[in-house]
Structure 1
Amino acid sequence: MYTEQTWIYKRAALSPKKIALIDINTGEKWSYQTLTNHISKWVHYFNLQQYQKGDRVAILSQNRIELFAILFACGLKGILYVPLNFRLSELELLYILEDCQPVLIIHDAEHQIISSKFTKINRLLISSMKDNNSELSPPYSNCSLTDPWLIIYTGGTTGKPKGVVLSFDAVNWNAINTIISWGLNKTDCTLNYMPMFHTGGLNALCIPVLMVGGTVVTGSRFHAEEALIALNTYKTTISLFVPTMYQSMLQTDYMKTATFPTVKVFLSGGAPCPKTIYKEFEKKGILFKEGYGLTEAGPNNFFIQPEIARNKIGSVGKCMQFNEVKILNELGEICKINEIGELYISGKHVFTKYWNNELETSHTLVNGWLKTGDLAKMDADGDYFIVGRKKELIISGGENVYPQEVEQCLILHPNVLEVAVIGVEDDNWGECVTAFITCKEPNEFDESEINTHCRNSLGGFKVPKKIFIVEELPRTDIGKIDKKRLLQLAVE
């Protein structure tokens, strides 16, 4: 029986021999028919274990193509798929496991030792299913579209991780919306190094590309030159990387001479993209743009033509076909053109709730809208710009300072490689605008020159009052700059 929950079987029926998945690390290639065969094996295993609809299965693994088979098998059985951030500490993982109470941890060989420490939970090595030639289960599901499919835990940068519950509707409508709004088709091929415990690694491009009948190429540990070579080796058309990955790519020898004849566009997400990255891609004549999303919505919410993005650096464009967005000021009124306020999102792609957390759910889902906590503005053309996190807004001497604006100014200085700006508590100013910088030539750093550079573009109250030069900026598990850690360093 084909339903909206079993669309992967319908896709396999339409294009059984088409390559669906390629694993860079193992060299494996799965057709859509092979993928559904593996899905059926996992369904059969879940049946043998008598797992029930609503049970949770946790995944502790590097990126590998088997994870897609497990993901779809969980969907068929109504089991909630819970990908775990393998970079977390044992204590952090224990918190998540105690919160979601899984019936099983599926792990790869690399994480066998840490998974063995959770003795109260059944465990299974992924590779043990490879030689399983059990009978295939029919593509049947008794789930409704509003039933939960995934629980993806947020990074917990402002507190304990929250389990974002995504329904079949949320995952499928994000994919449908992306396919229609971005114009994806069966010829598309994406390279994914985004970790598959993160919504960007699952929902940004992988599931939409599979739904439309394209090819997903997966890598595990990101290596800049390896990724660039893979883009051409596998004739990719559209791929997503975070800004820190692009920074690494631009410093490789391969990037200096390479062309990417099959690539339609490079996408940036996960964090605001520095202007310097836009400019480097423009120099090479390569189309480049950025998007905006969050685990609780999509993560795809906007679309912009690359040609427009080139002239409107930093814009994420207009909202996609099947979602709505609005910007509200502190009075709860719709913001005027270029007025900064908080971004709200609605649509079927929005999450259902936070697992076991009604209070946070009620604070975040307000009258059918997702309250994102991100600040944005809209220009006269209806194009949106993300200004920054509301919680990261710096109030210095009574004036609002948006860190992203200061960062985009600093990054244009010829000796600045990377930069992050935060507010640090200050007795005189309330908060002190503080910059952390990595330099191309550290021995040639001149703070007065940096200050002059900033004052040429920014109001005096926005110019950093403190600048720290560091060898590298701390990262979160998906490659974002860790501003929570920077605040700790500033205080120390």
Structure 2
Amino acid sequence: MSATPPLSRPAQDSFQVSTEAVTESLKNEEAQLSRGDGESPMAVTQSRSSALESFHSKEPDSVVAVSKLDYEPTAEVVAPPENLDMDSRPWTSMYSESVKAAVEQYKTLDEYVNSLNLESLLDCWNEIASRSPDQVAFRGGDADHNVTFGMLAKQSSALAAYFQDLMQQPNSTLKVGDNIMVVMPSCPQMIVTGIAAMKAGLSVSFPVPSTDEVALTHQLEHQIENTEPKIIVASKVPAMAKAVTSALRRIADKEEGDRTEYSNFVKERKVTRFESGIWDCVKVRRNAQSLKEFVAPLPFIKKLEHTKGAKNLGDFLHANRTLANPAIPQKDDPAVILFSSGTTGKSKAIVLTHRNLLGTAAHLSLWLKAEARGMPNHPKIHFALPLSHAFGCGVGFALTPMIGAETTLTLNPRDPKMLRASLAQGPYDIIFGVDKLYNGMINLAEDALKAQYADNPPAYLLSGASKTVQSTKDRVLKVFGTPLIEGYGSTESSVCMAIQCIKLGDNRYLPLPWADIRVVPKSKFKLLDEGFDPNAVSSTVGEEGELIYSCNLAKEYLNDPKKTAETFITSKDGRRWLRTGDLCRLNKDGTFNIVGRMKETIIINGENLSPDDIANTLVGAPNVNSAFVFRMPKSLQDQSGDDCVVVLVQGNNIDKVEVLDQMKSKGASQQQRPREDNLLVFDDSVTFPSTTTMKERRVEMTNMCISLLMEKEIKQKFTGEQLQKVVTEILKDNSSFV
């Protein structure tokens, strides 16, 4: 994509949105986020500076100038032996020339990052703020809502100065290394607070926000107890502010046996709270003050007031303060804590270090520079997903400063007006999304998007977090004129592990530079102990097994050494490997295909759901004696796609509506609650399968249901009635689980 605007760029009113409408939308963001209005379209040194500048000035490789409208797959790679030499990384032959050159010059990702003279994520932000202070970093609805790299640097320093003031107060409990929690939808304040925390020597945690107050309260209670933040920064959106208050109250009111030192800390009101409007700027602050002065008696103004005792974040961001002694983080210091649900029953806090985020920035920027044909030095990015997700953290915190991007955020992509407004600010060079979001964009503004990108298609379109179906890829190519590339990764892998390569012409995944993979067949699982030999566990070509991955892995699960040891294993040569739990098949060129999942985790729209968390919301449901939660793929034909929640309940006179209402009241989100026809009722004569140690056999149940349904010639979607029949058959024959 050329850096110069196209001559025939369509008029902005082709999206039927005006600057006034956008501004009005932003002014009312709290109400929109709370109500969910509208039908959802989706059902520094000179050497450092010169090193980065030379990186920005490189031209993309001509070898990847694949036509975006009529591309052809490359010829099939010559078949290696049945047993691949995985140490040689055979897939690197398919990299673009500049990527291959980097891999040959630098033996590890760390060596490559060191060549850029970056010691922490702060170096990325400091360098771009010094070099391009007036360049827009994050774009809002109009010019008044744009935030430059210089503004981010100034505001984060002012806030960090206050954090350091708190540390120096008499009897202060805040110290270097403590955590700050930010509960907000995607907005610049999240980035500013995160940078400020790092400048003050603190880490920052980002729960995924929600406007479901009950569900968010339950989520935050565990996440706050786990990370023990001394400072919480939250949105003024009523559901979010109230959820923070409720979660803190629940922690403070713990029974004596469940109380911790942190419970007492909360009860004594020692947690410092900040609240803020979503997209704070001088104009909005001025308008808000006018409203308070002249129409304060109006009832809706009370909705915008801060929680009692909370400080106004904007007052500190806009204070004219400098930071005298910024912290100097080390590469292995915690930078960000993200949350993910697994099979342990509660969300896991995953610690990403400065090394992790620098590695993510280096990986993505190197890849995009090589693969994104015509990408300008400072590309425009459209990102409408949560910054609190690993995908969003990678783009917002790491990639944006590394490549000096101008990133447009969307507060609520489910709101048609907000999504349309963000699309109207294109054309974009890079668009990130997920299956539903891409379909939502096209459903909302197909004709306008076709006109906008007719002569100027994006340089790169990437999907992640959840499976993208082929029909979506076809629609995207037709509308944007650029193939949609799918990425694969997890928070534990610091966002991304592999990317589909359009030159291959199929769904094979190409591991990222400097990564190592192995596919381990089930027969060799017993060899995956401390000090294992990676080559001794590797599968042959075409054999299915669990994918293990080594490169840029997260530091740990916070306060969970057992789960950390189970998930992150060390080979005899000292490399750390991630057990992904994904069932994959190794190809003869060293790439891999994802064929299914081995874990209990339920994944819907990129969100990991724990069966134990769901089961806990069923405790006390009317007439329910026991419950059993497991996952099923929505499509039996594509089992690597989204899942659905299946709940079995046992008892007499069970009312499904009452059970679902109970789950909601106990904090189960819409994603966690099953469809009514996937809530299957059984009488007292039925026993749900478990091991001798009473661990529920969920994976086996999933596999047997899939097998029986396919035996009955049900190849794609199944009905609740069909599922009830096969589960009944399975439960009658307990020998199935022996």
The interval holding the TM-score normalised by the smaller chain is 0.7 to 0.9
Unaligned stretches of 5+ residues in structure 1: 395-400, 412-418, 436-450, 452-457, 470-486
Letter in 2 for 1:114: A
Higher relative contact order (CA 8 A, sep 6+): 2
Q: Which moved more, 1:171-180 or 1:318-327?
A: 318-327
- Are 1:433 and 1:466, in contact at CA under 8 Å, matched by a contact in 2? no
More helix by share: 2
From 515, 524, 535, the counterpart of 1:323: 515
From 353, 372, 389, the counterpart of 2:597: 389
- Are 1:387 and 1:405, in contact at CA under 8 Å, matched by a contact in 2? no
From 155, 176, 179, the counterpart of 1:38: 155
Other-structure match for 1:414: none
Superposed CA offset, 1:427-474 (max 9, x none): 999722399xxxxxxxxxxxxxxx9xxxxxx876773694249xxxxx
Is 2:331 the partner of 1:145? yes
Cα distance, 1:408–1:86 mapped onto 2, change above 3 Å = same
Q: How far, CA to CA, are the matches of 2:142 and 2:218 in structure 1?
A: 29
Specify the SS of the correspondent of 1:385.
strand
Aligned residues: 432
Other-structure match for 1:306: 502
Q: Which moved more, 1:158-167 or 1:297-306?
A: 297-306
Letter in 2 for 1:195: P
Q: Which moved more, 1:157-166 or 1:22-31?
A: 22-31
Other-structure match for 1:369: 577
- Are 1:146 and 1:169, in contact at CA under 8 Å, matched by a contact in 2? yes
Superposed CA offset, 1:391-447 (max 9, x none): 2699xxxxxx99487244999xxxxxxx85788999999722399xxxxxxxxxxxx
Specify the SS of the correspondent of 2:341.
coil
Is 2:588 the partner of 1:380? yes
Letter in 2 for 1:287: P
Q: How far, CA to CA, are the matches of 2:446 and 2:185 in structure 1?
A: 26
Q: Which moved more, 1:55-64 or 1:381-390?
A: 381-390
Letter in 1 for 2:472: I
**What TM-score do you get using the length of structure 2 for normalisation?**
0.53
Q: How far, CA to CA, are the matches of 2:585 and 2:415 in structure 1?
A: 33
- Are 2:597 and 2:640, in contact at CA under 8 Å, matched by a contact in 1? no
| Structure index of larger Rg | 2
Give runs of aligned pairs for residues 174-189 of structure 1, distance below 5 A: 174-183=360-369, 186-189=377-380
**What TM-score do you get using the length of structure 1 for normalisation?**
0.78
Other-structure match for 1:190: 381
- Are 1:243 and 1:271, in contact at CA under 8 Å, matched by a contact in 2? yes
From 478, 483, 490, the counterpart of 1:287: 483
Q: How far, CA to CA, are the matches of 1:376 and 1:344 in structure 2?
A: 10
Other-structure match for 2:696: none
Q: Give the deviation of 1:71 after TM superposition.
A: 1.0
Is 2:314 the partner of 1:130? yes
Specify the SS of the correspondent of 2:377.
coil
Q: Give the deviation of 1:257 after TM superposition.
A: 6.1
Cα RMSD, aligned residues only:
3.5
Is 2:352 the partner of 1:166? yes
From 217, 221, 224, the counterpart of 2:408: 217
Specify the SS of the correspondent of 2:407.
strand
Cα distance, 1:89–1:18 mapped onto 2, change above 3 Å = closer
Other-structure match for 2:194: 71
- Are 1:354 and 1:361, in contact at CA under 8 Å, matched by a contact in 2? yes
Specify the SS of the correspondent of 2:636.
helix
Q: Give the deviation of 1:320 after TM superposition.
A: 1.3
Q: How far, CA to CA, are the matches of 1:459 and 1:281 in structure 2?
A: 35
Q: Give the deviation of 1:11 after TM superposition.
A: 1.5
Give runs of aligned pairs for residues 248-263 of structure 1, distance below 5 A: 248-254=440-446, 258-259=450-451, 260=453, 261-263=456-458
Other-structure match for 2:182: 59
Is 2:207 the partner of 1:207? no
Is 2:554 the partner of 1:351? yes
Cα distance, 1:63–1:393 mapped onto 2, change above 3 Å = closer
Other-structure match for 2:493: 297
Q: How far, CA to CA, are the matches of 1:323 and 1:298 in structure 2?
A: 12
Cα distance, 1:38–1:322 mapped onto 2, change above 3 Å = farther
Q: Give the deviation of 1:138 after TM superposition.
A: 4.8
- Are 2:360 and 2:398, in contact at CA under 8 Å, matched by a contact in 1? no
Q: How far, CA to CA, are the matches of 2:717 and 2:460 in structure 1?
A: 38
Give runs of aligned pairs for residues 452-471 of structure 1, distance below 5 A: 463=715, 466-468=718-720
- Are 1:83 and 1:151, in contact at CA under 8 Å, matched by a contact in 2? yes
Q: How far, CA to CA, are the matches of 2:560 and 2:405 in structure 1?
A: 37
Quote the sequence identity (%): 19
Q: Which moved more, 1:356-365 or 1:248-257?
A: 248-257
